Structure 1
Protein backbone atom coordinates (compact mmCIF):
# COMPACT_ATOMS: atom_id res chain seq x y z
CA UNK A 1 0.00 0.00 0.00
CA UNK A 2 1.38 3.40 -0.90
CA UNK A 3 2.03 6.04 1.77
CA UNK A 4 -0.89 8.25 0.72
CA UNK A 5 -3.32 5.34 1.21
CA UNK A 6 -1.77 4.47 4.58
CA UNK A 7 -2.18 8.06 5.74
CA UNK A 8 -5.80 8.26 4.57
CA UNK A 9 -6.70 4.94 6.19
CA UNK A 10 -5.02 5.86 9.48
CA UNK A 11 -6.65 9.28 9.51
CA UNK A 12 -10.09 7.82 8.78
CA UNK A 13 -9.90 5.49 11.74
CA UNK A 14 -8.50 8.09 14.12
CA UNK A 15 -10.87 10.87 13.09
CA UNK A 16 -13.95 8.66 13.48
CA UNK A 17 -12.81 7.17 16.79
CA UNK A 18 -11.32 10.31 18.39
CA UNK A 19 -12.78 13.26 16.48
CA UNK A 20 -11.01 15.65 14.14
CA UNK A 21 -10.00 18.08 16.89
CA UNK A 22 -8.46 15.28 18.97
CA UNK A 23 -6.43 13.78 16.14
CA UNK A 24 -3.06 15.49 15.75
CA UNK A 25 -1.07 15.05 12.56
CA UNK A 26 1.63 13.25 14.58
CA UNK A 27 -0.85 10.54 15.57
CA UNK A 28 -1.90 10.09 11.96
CA UNK A 29 1.75 9.69 10.96
CA UNK A 30 2.39 7.20 13.77
CA UNK A 31 -0.68 5.10 12.96
CA UNK A 32 0.20 5.13 9.25
CA UNK A 33 3.78 4.11 10.02
CA UNK A 34 5.23 7.08 8.16
CA UNK A 35 7.21 10.17 9.13
CA UNK A 36 5.73 13.63 9.48
CA UNK A 37 7.58 14.68 6.34
CA UNK A 38 5.66 12.03 4.37
CA UNK A 39 2.36 13.37 5.68
CA UNK A 40 3.17 16.99 4.84
CA UNK A 41 4.59 16.03 1.46
CA UNK A 42 1.14 14.68 0.52
CA UNK A 43 -1.24 16.89 2.52
CA UNK A 44 -1.23 20.55 3.57
CA UNK A 45 -3.13 19.99 6.82
CA UNK A 46 -5.86 17.86 8.46
CA UNK A 47 -8.57 19.51 6.39
CA UNK A 48 -6.71 18.44 3.26
CA UNK A 49 -6.60 14.88 4.62
CA UNK A 50 -10.35 14.99 5.32
CA UNK A 51 -10.94 16.07 1.72
CA UNK A 52 -8.71 13.23 0.53
CA UNK A 53 -10.66 10.71 2.62
CA UNK A 54 -13.92 12.05 1.21
CA UNK A 55 -12.82 11.64 -2.41
CA UNK A 56 -11.41 8.17 -1.70
CA UNK A 57 -14.64 6.94 -0.11
CA UNK A 58 -16.93 8.49 -2.71
CA UNK A 59 -14.80 7.02 -5.52
CA UNK A 60 -14.97 3.56 -3.97
CA UNK A 61 -18.69 3.89 -3.23
CA UNK A 62 -19.57 5.01 -6.78
CA UNK A 63 -17.54 2.19 -8.33
CA UNK A 64 -19.48 -0.33 -6.27
CA UNK A 65 -22.99 1.02 -6.51
CA UNK A 66 -22.92 1.74 -10.25
CA UNK A 67 -21.17 -1.48 -11.27
CA UNK A 68 -24.34 -2.80 -13.00
CA UNK A 69 -25.75 0.55 -14.05
CA UNK A 70 -27.54 0.27 -17.38
CA UNK A 71 -29.83 2.95 -18.81
CA UNK A 72 -31.87 0.22 -20.49
CA UNK A 73 -33.05 -1.13 -17.13
CA UNK A 74 -36.28 0.22 -15.70
CA UNK A 75 -36.03 3.19 -13.36
CA UNK A 76 -37.56 1.08 -10.58
CA UNK A 77 -34.99 -1.73 -11.01
CA UNK A 78 -32.16 0.79 -11.22
CA UNK A 79 -33.36 2.55 -8.06
CA UNK A 80 -33.42 -0.71 -6.12
CA UNK A 81 -30.06 -1.84 -7.44
CA UNK A 82 -28.06 1.34 -6.80
CA UNK A 83 -29.60 2.19 -3.44
CA UNK A 84 -29.46 -1.44 -2.34
CA UNK A 85 -25.76 -1.48 -3.16
CA UNK A 86 -25.30 1.81 -1.31
CA UNK A 87 -26.93 0.36 1.81
CA UNK A 88 -24.74 -2.76 1.56
CA UNK A 89 -21.60 -0.64 1.10
CA UNK A 90 -22.39 1.45 4.16
CA UNK A 91 -23.27 -1.60 6.28
CA UNK A 92 -20.04 -3.35 5.29
CA UNK A 93 -17.93 -0.22 5.90
CA UNK A 94 -19.10 1.36 9.15
CA UNK A 95 -16.08 3.69 9.53
CA UNK A 96 -16.59 5.00 6.01
CA UNK A 97 -20.32 5.36 6.60
CA UNK A 98 -19.71 7.32 9.81
CA UNK A 99 -17.26 9.55 7.99
CA UNK A 100 -19.69 10.26 5.13
CA UNK A 101 -22.59 10.87 7.50
CA UNK A 102 -20.47 13.36 9.47
CA UNK A 103 -18.65 15.14 6.66
CA UNK A 104 -20.78 14.90 3.47
CA UNK A 105 -22.18 18.38 4.04
CA UNK A 106 -19.48 19.80 6.26
CA UNK A 107 -17.81 23.11 5.36
CA UNK A 108 -14.48 21.26 5.69
CA UNK A 109 -15.22 19.59 2.37
CA UNK A 110 -14.12 22.13 -0.22
CA UNK A 111 -16.39 22.96 -3.15
CA UNK A 112 -13.83 21.62 -5.63
CA UNK A 113 -13.58 18.38 -3.65
CA UNK A 114 -17.36 18.06 -3.50
CA UNK A 115 -17.58 18.64 -7.23
CA UNK A 116 -14.83 16.11 -7.99
CA UNK A 117 -16.32 13.44 -5.74
CA UNK A 118 -19.93 13.93 -6.81
CA UNK A 119 -19.09 13.84 -10.53
CA UNK A 120 -19.06 10.07 -10.10
CA UNK A 121 -22.75 10.15 -9.10
CA UNK A 122 -24.30 11.77 -12.19
CA UNK A 123 -25.99 8.45 -12.92
CA UNK A 124 -28.45 9.34 -10.16
CA UNK A 125 -29.40 12.49 -12.06
CA UNK A 126 -29.85 10.45 -15.23
CA UNK A 127 -31.99 7.86 -13.43
CA UNK A 128 -34.19 10.54 -11.88
CA UNK A 129 -34.43 12.44 -15.19
CA UNK A 130 -35.72 9.27 -16.86
CA UNK A 131 -38.19 8.77 -14.02
CA UNK A 132 -39.39 12.37 -14.28
CA UNK A 133 -39.84 12.02 -18.06
CA UNK A 134 -41.91 8.90 -17.42
CA UNK A 135 -44.02 10.69 -14.78
CA UNK A 136 -42.85 8.37 -12.01
CA UNK A 137 -41.67 10.95 -9.49
CA UNK A 138 -42.91 14.06 -7.75
CA UNK A 139 -42.08 17.19 -9.72
CA UNK A 140 -38.77 18.03 -8.08
CA UNK A 141 -35.29 18.53 -9.49
CA UNK A 142 -33.21 15.37 -9.80
CA UNK A 143 -30.79 16.71 -7.20
CA UNK A 144 -33.62 17.14 -4.66
CA UNK A 145 -34.76 13.56 -5.22
CA UNK A 146 -31.18 12.30 -4.90
CA UNK A 147 -30.47 14.12 -1.66
CA UNK A 148 -33.84 13.26 -0.14
CA UNK A 149 -33.31 9.54 -0.65
CA UNK A 150 -29.61 9.72 0.30
CA UNK A 151 -30.52 11.64 3.47
CA UNK A 152 -33.23 9.15 4.35
CA UNK A 153 -30.86 6.22 3.90
CA UNK A 154 -28.13 7.85 5.98
CA UNK A 155 -30.53 8.78 8.78
CA UNK A 156 -32.07 5.33 8.85
CA UNK A 157 -28.68 3.58 8.88
CA UNK A 158 -27.36 5.96 11.55
CA UNK A 159 -30.35 5.21 13.79
CA UNK A 160 -30.05 1.47 13.12
CA UNK A 161 -26.37 1.63 14.07
CA UNK A 162 -26.93 3.71 17.21
CA UNK A 163 -29.79 1.45 18.36
CA UNK A 164 -27.85 -1.69 17.34
CA UNK A 165 -30.64 -2.88 15.06
CA UNK A 166 -29.84 -5.64 12.60
CA UNK A 167 -30.59 -4.65 9.03
CA UNK A 168 -31.68 -7.88 7.38
CA UNK A 169 -32.63 -8.32 3.70
CA UNK A 170 -36.36 -8.03 4.45
CA UNK A 171 -35.89 -4.78 6.35
CA UNK A 172 -33.65 -3.43 3.59
CA UNK A 173 -36.27 -4.29 0.94
CA UNK A 174 -39.01 -2.67 3.01
CA UNK A 175 -36.96 0.48 3.49
CA UNK A 176 -36.16 0.69 -0.23
CA UNK A 177 -39.87 0.38 -0.99
CA UNK A 178 -40.65 3.16 1.49
CA UNK A 179 -37.96 5.36 -0.08
CA UNK A 180 -39.42 4.71 -3.54
CA UNK A 181 -42.96 5.36 -2.32
CA UNK A 182 -41.93 8.65 -0.72
CA UNK A 183 -40.81 10.18 -4.03
CA UNK A 184 -43.18 8.54 -6.52
CA UNK A 185 -46.20 10.37 -7.86
Structure 2
Protein backbone atom coordinates (compact mmCIF):
# COMPACT_ATOMS: atom_id res chain seq x y z
CA UNK A 1 0.00 0.00 0.00
CA UNK A 2 1.32 3.43 -0.92
CA UNK A 3 2.08 5.90 1.85
CA UNK A 4 -0.68 8.27 0.72
CA UNK A 5 -3.29 5.48 0.80
CA UNK A 6 -1.98 4.32 4.18
CA UNK A 7 -2.48 7.82 5.59
CA UNK A 8 -5.96 8.14 4.07
CA UNK A 9 -7.02 4.75 5.47
CA UNK A 10 -5.77 5.64 8.95
CA UNK A 11 -7.47 9.04 8.73
CA UNK A 12 -10.77 7.50 7.59
CA UNK A 13 -10.80 5.16 10.57
CA UNK A 14 -9.96 7.87 13.08
CA UNK A 15 -12.34 10.44 11.57
CA UNK A 16 -15.23 7.98 11.56
CA UNK A 17 -14.53 6.82 15.11
CA UNK A 18 -13.64 10.14 16.72
CA UNK A 19 -14.90 12.92 14.46
CA UNK A 20 -12.85 15.77 13.04
CA UNK A 21 -11.89 17.31 16.39
CA UNK A 22 -10.99 13.92 17.89
CA UNK A 23 -8.64 12.98 15.07
CA UNK A 24 -5.62 15.31 15.20
CA UNK A 25 -2.99 14.98 12.51
CA UNK A 26 -0.57 13.62 15.14
CA UNK A 27 -2.95 10.68 15.81
CA UNK A 28 -3.31 10.09 12.07
CA UNK A 29 0.50 10.06 11.78
CA UNK A 30 0.79 7.50 14.61
CA UNK A 31 -1.95 5.25 13.23
CA UNK A 32 -0.47 5.35 9.72
CA UNK A 33 3.11 4.85 11.01
CA UNK A 34 4.08 8.01 9.17
CA UNK A 35 5.92 11.14 10.19
CA UNK A 36 4.13 14.45 10.45
CA UNK A 37 6.36 15.91 7.74
CA UNK A 38 5.23 13.24 5.27
CA UNK A 39 1.57 13.92 6.03
CA UNK A 40 1.93 17.67 5.62
CA UNK A 41 3.98 17.14 2.48
CA UNK A 42 1.06 15.18 0.96
CA UNK A 43 -1.84 17.11 2.54
CA UNK A 44 -1.51 20.76 3.52
CA UNK A 45 -4.28 20.61 6.13
CA UNK A 46 -6.69 18.19 7.75
CA UNK A 47 -9.41 19.68 5.54
CA UNK A 48 -7.25 18.91 2.52
CA UNK A 49 -6.83 15.33 3.74
CA UNK A 50 -10.58 14.91 4.27
CA UNK A 51 -11.27 16.26 0.79
CA UNK A 52 -8.61 13.99 -0.73
CA UNK A 53 -10.28 10.98 0.92
CA UNK A 54 -13.72 12.08 -0.30
CA UNK A 55 -12.41 12.57 -3.84
CA UNK A 56 -10.58 9.22 -3.79
CA UNK A 57 -13.73 7.34 -2.74
CA UNK A 58 -15.93 9.13 -5.29
CA UNK A 59 -13.48 8.38 -8.10
CA UNK A 60 -13.17 4.74 -7.08
CA UNK A 61 -16.94 4.40 -6.87
CA UNK A 62 -17.44 5.91 -10.33
CA UNK A 63 -14.67 3.78 -11.85
CA UNK A 64 -16.14 0.59 -10.41
CA UNK A 65 -19.83 1.22 -11.09
CA UNK A 66 -19.89 3.41 -14.19
CA UNK A 67 -20.14 0.66 -16.79
CA UNK A 68 -23.62 -0.26 -17.86
CA UNK A 69 -24.97 -1.24 -21.19
CA UNK A 70 -26.65 1.21 -23.54
CA UNK A 71 -28.26 -1.62 -25.52
CA UNK A 72 -30.41 -2.59 -22.52
CA UNK A 73 -33.81 -1.11 -21.76
CA UNK A 74 -33.97 1.90 -19.45
CA UNK A 75 -35.33 -0.37 -16.72
CA UNK A 76 -32.46 -2.86 -17.07
CA UNK A 77 -29.83 -0.11 -17.25
CA UNK A 78 -31.31 1.40 -14.09
CA UNK A 79 -31.22 -1.95 -12.33
CA UNK A 80 -27.60 -2.62 -13.37
CA UNK A 81 -26.39 0.80 -12.24
CA UNK A 82 -28.35 0.82 -8.96
CA UNK A 83 -27.26 -2.75 -8.10
CA UNK A 84 -23.61 -1.98 -8.91
CA UNK A 85 -23.61 1.02 -6.57
CA UNK A 86 -25.31 -0.91 -3.75
CA UNK A 87 -22.88 -3.82 -4.09
CA UNK A 88 -19.87 -1.50 -4.19
CA UNK A 89 -20.93 0.40 -1.06
CA UNK A 90 -21.71 -2.78 0.88
CA UNK A 91 -18.36 -4.25 -0.16
CA UNK A 92 -16.62 -1.05 1.05
CA UNK A 93 -18.28 -0.26 4.40
CA UNK A 94 -15.50 2.09 5.51
CA UNK A 95 -15.91 4.13 2.34
CA UNK A 96 -19.69 4.21 2.71
CA UNK A 97 -19.49 5.30 6.36
CA UNK A 98 -17.03 8.07 5.50
CA UNK A 99 -19.19 9.35 2.61
CA UNK A 100 -22.33 9.12 4.75
CA UNK A 101 -20.70 10.98 7.62
CA UNK A 102 -19.02 13.74 5.61
CA UNK A 103 -21.20 14.39 2.55
CA UNK A 104 -22.89 17.39 4.21
CA UNK A 105 -19.80 18.65 6.00
CA UNK A 106 -18.82 22.30 5.50
CA UNK A 107 -15.23 20.99 5.30
CA UNK A 108 -15.81 19.72 1.77
CA UNK A 109 -14.48 21.87 -1.02
CA UNK A 110 -16.89 23.13 -3.67
CA UNK A 111 -15.42 20.86 -6.37
CA UNK A 112 -16.12 17.77 -4.24
CA UNK A 113 -19.74 18.85 -3.83
CA UNK A 114 -19.95 19.30 -7.60
CA UNK A 115 -18.33 15.91 -8.19
CA UNK A 116 -20.92 14.33 -5.90
CA UNK A 117 -23.59 15.78 -8.19
CA UNK A 118 -21.79 14.33 -11.21
CA UNK A 119 -22.11 10.89 -9.65
CA UNK A 120 -25.87 11.13 -10.19
CA UNK A 121 -25.49 12.00 -13.89
CA UNK A 122 -26.02 8.43 -15.14
CA UNK A 123 -29.32 8.29 -13.23
CA UNK A 124 -30.35 11.71 -14.53
CA UNK A 125 -29.63 10.65 -18.11
CA UNK A 126 -31.49 7.36 -17.71
CA UNK A 127 -34.53 9.04 -16.18
CA UNK A 128 -34.61 11.61 -19.01
CA UNK A 129 -34.50 8.85 -21.64
CA UNK A 130 -37.16 6.94 -19.72
CA UNK A 131 -39.42 9.97 -19.61
CA UNK A 132 -38.88 10.58 -23.30
CA UNK A 133 -39.77 7.00 -24.25
CA UNK A 134 -42.67 6.81 -21.78
CA UNK A 135 -41.28 4.29 -19.27
CA UNK A 136 -40.60 6.73 -16.40
CA UNK A 137 -43.15 8.99 -14.70
CA UNK A 138 -43.22 12.60 -15.78
CA UNK A 139 -42.05 14.03 -12.47
CA UNK A 140 -39.24 16.58 -12.34
CA UNK A 141 -35.98 14.62 -12.39
CA UNK A 142 -34.60 16.89 -9.66
CA UNK A 143 -37.45 15.60 -7.48
CA UNK A 144 -36.75 11.95 -8.31
CA UNK A 145 -33.00 12.06 -7.58
CA UNK A 146 -33.32 12.68 -3.80
CA UNK A 147 -35.74 9.75 -3.61
CA UNK A 148 -33.29 7.45 -5.41
CA UNK A 149 -30.29 8.65 -3.46
CA UNK A 150 -32.12 8.51 -0.12
CA UNK A 151 -33.49 5.05 -0.78
CA UNK A 152 -30.12 3.73 -1.86
CA UNK A 153 -28.29 5.23 1.12
CA UNK A 154 -30.92 4.02 3.59
CA UNK A 155 -30.83 0.52 2.11
CA UNK A 156 -27.02 0.30 2.36
CA UNK A 157 -27.07 1.79 5.87
CA UNK A 158 -29.63 -0.84 6.94
CA UNK A 159 -27.59 -3.71 5.42
CA UNK A 160 -24.41 -2.55 7.16
CA UNK A 161 -25.89 -1.56 10.53
CA UNK A 162 -27.83 -4.80 10.90
CA UNK A 163 -24.92 -6.88 9.57
CA UNK A 164 -27.19 -8.43 6.95
CA UNK A 165 -25.61 -10.59 4.27
CA UNK A 166 -26.34 -8.88 0.95
CA UNK A 167 -27.78 -11.32 -1.55
CA UNK A 168 -29.42 -11.20 -4.96
CA UNK A 169 -32.93 -11.56 -3.49
CA UNK A 170 -32.50 -8.49 -1.26
CA UNK A 171 -31.05 -6.45 -4.11
CA UNK A 172 -33.78 -7.64 -6.47
CA UNK A 173 -36.55 -6.73 -4.01
CA UNK A 174 -35.10 -3.26 -3.42
CA UNK A 175 -34.67 -2.70 -7.16
CA UNK A 176 -38.24 -3.79 -7.78
CA UNK A 177 -39.53 -1.30 -5.21
CA UNK A 178 -37.38 1.55 -6.56
CA UNK A 179 -38.42 0.85 -10.16
CA UNK A 180 -42.11 0.57 -9.21
CA UNK A 181 -42.00 4.11 -7.87
CA UNK A 182 -40.31 5.42 -11.03
CA UNK A 183 -42.11 3.55 -13.75
CA UNK A 184 -44.93 5.13 -15.61
CA UNK A 185 -48.10 3.11 -15.40
CA UNK A 186 -49.48 2.06 -18.72
CA UNK A 187 -53.12 2.83 -19.41
TM-score, normalised via structure 2 length: 0.88
* CA deviation map 1:64-120 (0-9, x unaligned): 1113x2323211111111111111111111111111112223322222122235435
The range that moved more, 101-110 or 146-155, is 101-110
Residue in 1 that maps onto 2:38: 38
Gaps of 5+ in 1: none
* Aligned CA distance change for structure 1 residues 3 and 115 (closer, same or farther; 3 Å): same
Matches of residues 32-181 of structure 1 in structure 2 within 5 Å?
Answer: 32-67=32-67, 69-181=68-180
* Aligned CA distance change for structure 1 residues 159 and 126 (closer, same or farther; 3 Å): same
SS where residue 12 of structure 2 aligns?
helix
* Aligned CA distance change for structure 1 residues 105 and 135 (closer, same or farther; 3 Å): farther
In the alignment, is the contact (CA less than 8 A) between 2:8 and 2:49 conserved in 1? yes
* CA deviation map 1:10-37 (0-9, x unaligned): 1112212232221111111122222111
Gaps of 5+ in 2: none
Q: In structure 2, how many angstroms separate the alpha carbons of the residues matched to 1:143 and 1:71?
A: 22
Say how many residue pairs are matched: 184
Give 4+ residue runs of structure 1 displaced > 6 Å after superposition: none
In the alignment, is the contact (CA less than 8 A) between 2:83 and 2:171 conserved in 1? yes
In the alignment, is the contact (CA less than 8 A) between 1:4 and 1:42 conserved in 2? yes
SS where residue 116 of structure 1 aligns?
helix
